Amino acid sequence: MVCACGNPVKDVRKERLEELLKQYSKQKGALIPVLQEAQEIYGYLPKDVMEEISSKLRIPFSKIYGVATFYAQFHLKPRGRHVIRVCQGTACHVRGSAKILNRVESELGIKSGQTTEDLRFTIEPVACLGACGLAPVMMIDEDTHGRMTPDMVPEILKQYE
Amino acid sequence: MEKTKIVVGMGTCGIAAGAEKVWHRLEELIKKHNAPVELMSTGCVGMCYNEVIIEVHRPKEPRVIYGSVTPEMAQKIFEEHVIGGRFIKEWVIAQEEKQGQRFDELPEVNLLPFTEKQKKVVLAKCGVINPDSIDDYLYFDGYQALRKALTTMTPKEVIEEIKKSGLRGRGGGGFPTGLKWEFAAKSPGDQKYMICNADEGDPGAFMDRSVLEGDPHAVLEGMAIGGYAIGASEGYIYVRAEYPLAIRRLTKAIKDAKERGFLGKNLFGTNFSFDIKIKAGAGAFVCGEETALMASIEGKRGMPRPRPPFPAVKGLWDKPSNINNVETFANVPLIILKGSEWFASMGTEKSKGTKVFALTGKINRTGLAEVPMGITIREIVFDVGGGIQDNKEFKAVQIGGPSGGCIPKELLDLPIDYDSLTQAGAIMGSGGLVVMDETTCMVDVAKFFLNFTQNESCGKCVPCREGTKRMLEILQKITEGKGEPEDLETLEKLAYNIKNSSLCGLGQTAPNPVLSTLRYFRHEYEAHIYDKKCPAGVCSALLEYKILEDKCVGCGACARVCPVGAISGERKQPHKIDPEKCIKCGSCIEKCKFGAIVKG
């Protein structure tokens, strides 16, 4: 990469990826942790990153694509700065989580699984967050919000820029 | 001088209810007053319905437990109780006697209705110790069981002790743990693996999360003892990525245990070495199945494979391996330390010990409850759980998650043990217990679970991949009022075919929620099909909203909240809903203060 002034620019993310691949290159079963950490760095898994992983770890690209599309945690498209997970578990379901999800969807104008155009929010489907005692529950990034009502949604969304 | 301690419950439930705000407020106050107070955190106390929970422990006084604490309340508690020495009675849930000291006017924590019938064995330290402190764990005989096993028992004796105790797997199937270990121990091989299944993916279950967050060392110690018994020097904990706090606490616990020599090389001066690694799952329910879990640790798509060969013969990296669940491991150190007779004295003839249940749904006291095996469902729901919310009528309890079934009120006196539950069409599962009342539609619940298993089916075998999809389509049809009489027979036929021919546990148990609701609540299916009615008032396609003329005062609140403008009427005159426009969202019912809108 070259800056407008003509000097080469260090790509910090690329450096972190190389560091990561060096660290895991000799470990068996490293693929999933590598993909997890690569996704931490880039926010999602771009194709060229998966290709880089493929060549450095000597794993066929088809295998990497297979793993990346099998697990719900991996994303092949850019995601919002904040990830909203409205719990759809049993306890939340019987306590009305569908209404919470509907409100989040209507507030943001997107459906579950989609990302807002300004890349602020992604709504991600989730089966259960395991905080059933406080159902219905919504998680934004790593914050868990319990005992939700639809009217609490706008106020909570405001806290995430 | 002994300091006053304030303990804040900081499990995921506590944090979700606002424990961090309470913590910060207390931290500020301690700084501001320069008070000699120690602020501590602990794991899940189990009383989710009372979160945020804090405890005040003044020197030489009983522990006083406060519930539903807000930052403002915390401030008042700090000023009046911590500094002033007078507890605020109306906010106190209970006290815990300390060295014979007690306040006469406060209830004792062990005698609360929620705790009275419980027997805390696995959860004994959860919510008491600081999970990040190995010293707290050591104070409660931590790693003494590992010492005893390594220095006074042979691996064979350890297995015998576990076999005699009658411990059965707490993750679902209920296979005898000692027997499983014996298979792995007898399997030839120089490299073996001990694996902990912490991929708790059942919607409605959080027992394992609470144990990992509240008492992580107990799981590590159980794994090390198991490793010694089967001859494994390496262990893996496969934990859901959705449990970030559990992963953080486990990571710290492993590091601390290594530093103190409870994990690593030549433990307690013997030639036994044991190390544990954490693998974070990547979001696939099927990875709770043991062969899929091992494929996932190996970095592959988490798809199950046929057994045999069983993991004890050919498991992780094709080496002999043994997998147990979190709660199973947490029981192991206790059995080694206190003996198999002690453990076998709890529970029933074939199901020994205790079981932790996650009580959720339409129940008054949600939370974690550990009860002796053999207790009845009625005791759990009504005595421990305090009955149904808003005085509604109990309809069913769902046990065992997507692989389990719904137990109706006629079976409320069924004892909870592995065999009775299986006979009734449910399973123990990992211990999720979701209570349902008259406003829960059983067809909708069956559809909910099938939708879940359909989404999580890995797609490897046809019966599970295609069969659950067909079943889901039929249920969809029924809940939309398009069901036909022959649908029920087709559902049952499909269900048995899928059960008999699927490759792994996910498919083999996926039809259980449908079969058990068909068995006990067939009339609800029939109401949907023949009368085109949803008796519980849940399936929106079968509902019609009406305004009762005699109750409507014409305030217009419903018309203003209706998102599609389906409600009209003159001011102070009864309003009307246009059924053509109505989308049955229920907003008007929530808004009406006069109970004038009904659905049916």
- State the smallest CA–CA distance between residue B284 and chain A in angstroms: 6
Disruptive mutation site among B434, B444, B512, B589 for chain A (greatest number of A CBs within 10 Å) = B434
What CA–CA distance (Å, rounded) separates B316 from B230? 15
Structure token digits, residue A150: 């639809």
What CA–CA distance (Å, rounded) separates B529 from B426? 25
Task: Judge whether B63 and B56 are in contact, CB under 8 Å.
Answer: yes
Interface contact A70, partner B, CB < 8 A: yes
| Confidence bin at B341 (pLDDT 50/70/90) | very high
Task: Judge whether A121 and A115 are in contact, CB under 8 Å.
Answer: yes
Task: Give φ, ψ of B363 to 5 degrees.
Answer: -120, 150
pLDDT on residue A2: 53
- Choose between A105 and B60: higher pLDDT: A105
Mean pLDDT value across residues B336-346? 97
Tens of pLDDT, residue by residue over B176-222, are 999 999 999 999 999 999 999 999 888 778 899 999 999 999 999 99
Contact A130 B205 (CB under 8 A): yes
b or e along B464-482 (b: 16 or more beta carbons within 10 Å of the residue's beta carbon)? Answer: bbebbeebbebbeebbebe
Tens of pLDDT, residue by residue over B281-328, are 998 999 999 999 999 999 999 999 999 999 999 999 999 999 999 999
Disruptive mutation site among A31, A63, A134 for chain B (greatest number of B CBs within 10 Å) = A134
Contact A134 B283 (CB under 8 A): no
User: pTM of the entire structure?
Assistant: 0.90
- Choose between B45 and B531: higher pLDDT: B531
Share of chain A above pLDDT 90, in %: 65
Considering CB atoms only, which of A70, A132, A144 is closest to B360?
Answer: A132
pLDDT on residue A91: 83
pLDDT on residue B45: 78
- State the smallest CA–CA distance between residue A67 and chain B in angstroms: 5
Tens of pLDDT, residue by residue over B237-250, are 999 988 888 999 99
Mean pLDDT value across residues B534-550? 90
Mean pLDDT value across residues B403-422? 93
- Choose between A47 and B587: higher pLDDT: A47
What CA–CA distance (Å, rounded) separates B244 from A58? 30
- ipTM confidence score: 0.84
Check pLDDT > 80 for residue A86.
yes
Interface contact A30, partner B, CB < 8 A: yes
Cβ-based contacts of B359 with chain A (< 8 Å): 133
Share of chain B above pLDDT 70, in %: 100
Contact B282 A72 (CB under 8 A): yes
Cβ-based contacts of A74 with chain B (< 8 Å): 282
Check pLDDT > 80 for residue B480.
yes
pLDDT on residue B302: 95
Nearest CA in chain B to A131: B13
pLDDT on residue A8: 62
Interface contact A141, partner B, CB < 8 A: no
Structure token digits, residue B315: 């498991």
Mean pLDDT value across residues B549-569? 90
Cβ-based contacts of A32 with chain B (< 8 Å): 279-280, 282, 296, 299
Contact B241 A36 (CB under 8 A): yes
| Confidence bin at A5 (pLDDT 50/70/90) | low
Three-state SS string over B201-247 comes to CCCCCCHHHHHHHHCHHHHHHHHHHHHHHHCCCEEEEEECCCCHHHH
The neighbouring-strand residues paired with B238 are: B197, B279
pLDDT on residue B127: 87
Contact B279 A28 (CB under 8 A): no
What average pLDDT does chain B have? 93
Cβ-based contacts of B362 with chain A (< 8 Å): 94-95
What Cα–Cα distance (Å) separates residue B182 from each residue in A112, B225, B230? Answer: 47, 13, 7
Contact A130 B280 (CB under 8 A): no
Considering CB atoms only, which of B300, B317, B445 is closest to A67?
Answer: B300
